C-alpha cells in the first residue's frame, strides 16, 4: 500500500510518500503507526506521540482503531489548521 505524510509528519519522516508492505499482524491504523515508528530514528521521531497523529484511508478520515485491510492509500498528518 501507499503511505503519504503531510506537514511536520512529512518533514520528520523525511519523505512525502512511499510504498510499504507491513506484515499481516498489522491490522489497524494504530498498529501501523507502531510498526512505522520502529522503522528508524526519523520515523520514531515522527510518530513519538501517536495520539496527535491523524489518519486518512483512501481520502477519508479514520479513527485509530480502523482496519487497514484493503486500503490503497493511507495518510498520516497532524491536526488540520486550514481555513
Binding site for other proteins (CB under 8 A): 4, 6-8, 56, 59-61, 75, 77-83
The CA-based angle 70-48-25, given to 5 degrees, is 35
Closest CA to 74 of 39, 41, 43, 30: 30
What's the min distance (Å) between Cβ of 77 and other proteins?
A: 7
Shorter beta-carbon distance to other proteins: residue 70 or 82: 82
Nearer to other proteins, 38 or 59 (CB): 59
Closest approach of other proteins to the CB of residue 64, in Å: 16
10 Å Cβ neighbour count for 71?
Answer: 18
Amino acid at each position: 500500500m501507499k503511505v503519504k505524510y503531510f506537514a511536520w509528519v512529512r518533514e520528520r519522516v523525511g519523505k512525502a510518500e512511499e510504498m510499504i508492505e507491513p506484515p499481516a499482524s498489522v491490522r489497524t491504523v494504530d498498529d501501523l503507526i507502531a510498526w512505522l515508528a520502529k522503522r528508524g530514528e526519523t520515523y520514531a521521531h515522527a510518530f513519538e506521540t501517536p495520539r496527535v497523529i491523524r489518519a486518512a484511508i483512501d481520502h477519508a478520515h479514520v479513527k485509530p482503531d480502523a482496519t487497514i485491510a484493503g486500503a490503497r492509500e493511507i495518510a498520516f498528518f497532524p491536526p488540520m489548521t486550514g481555513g
